[in-house]
Amino acid sequence: MNSYYVAFLLLFSSAFWQALESPQESPRLASRPTQKSGKTGAANIIFQSTDGGQTWQDISHGLPENAQADEFIEKNNELYLRTGNGIYHSKPSSPAPYWQKENFPAERGSIAPGKNGVFAYNYQDGQFLKKINGTNLWLPTYTNSQEKQVRTVFETSGGAVFIGSDRGLFKSTDSGKTWQHVHTGGWVIKMVESNGVLLATSQGGIIRSTDDGENWDVVISEGGVGIAIERINGGFAAISYNTQSETRRVRTSYDGGKTWQPIDANLPASFLTSSIVQVGDSFFCGHPAGIFRSLDKGKNWKLVVPSINGKVFNLSVSGNVMYAILRSGGC
Average model confidence (pLDDT) across the chain: 86
Q: Which residue has the higher pLDDT, 41 or 40?
A: 41
- pLDDT category of residue 67 using cuts at 50, 70 and 90: confident
φ/ψ of 5, rounded to 5, equals -65, -45
- pLDDT category of residue 282 using cuts at 50, 70 and 90: very high
CA-CA distance, 175 to 171, in Å (whole number)? 10
Say yes or no to pLDDT of 278 above 80.
yes
The CA R_g of the chain, rounded to the nearest whole Å, is 23
Q: Do 161 and 154 meet the contact criterion of CB atoms below 8 Å apart?
A: yes
The pLDDT value given to residue 5: 36
Give the Cβ contact number of residue 204 at 10 Å: 20
The pLDDT value given to residue 68: 86
φ/ψ of 49, rounded to 5, equals -130, 130
Q: Which residue has the higher pLDDT, 100 or 30?
A: 100
Query: Could you tell me how far CA 201 lies from the centroid of its own chain?
Result: 14
Would you say the pTM of this structure is higher than 0.75? Answer: yes
Please give the order of strands across the beta sheet that includes 78-83.
71-75, 78-83, 86-90, 100-101
The pLDDT value given to residue 4: 40
State the number of CA atoms in the 13 A half-sphere of 124 facing the CB: 5
- pLDDT category of residue 33 using cuts at 50, 70 and 90: low
Q: Note the pLDDT tens digit of each residue in 283-314.
A: 999 999 999 999 999 999 999 999 999 999 99
Mean pLDDT lowest among 108-112, 221-225, 303-307: 108-112
Which neighbouring-strand residues pair with 313? 326
Q: Strand 117-121 relative to strand 275-279: parallel, antiparallel, unpaired?
A: unpaired
- pLDDT category of residue 66 using cuts at 50, 70 and 90: confident
Please give the order of strands across the beta sheet that includes 46-49.
57-58, 46-49, 321-327, 312-318
The pLDDT value given to residue 153: 96
* Nearest to 271, CA basis, from 248, 239, 242: 248
Q: Which residue has the higher pLDDT, 91 or 154?
A: 154
> Residues with Cβ < 8 Å from 113, sequence gap 6 or more?
73, 74, 75, 119
- pLDDT category of residue 40 using cuts at 50, 70 and 90: low
Q: Note the pLDDT tens digit of each residue in 191-216.
A: 999 999 999 999 999 999 999 999 99
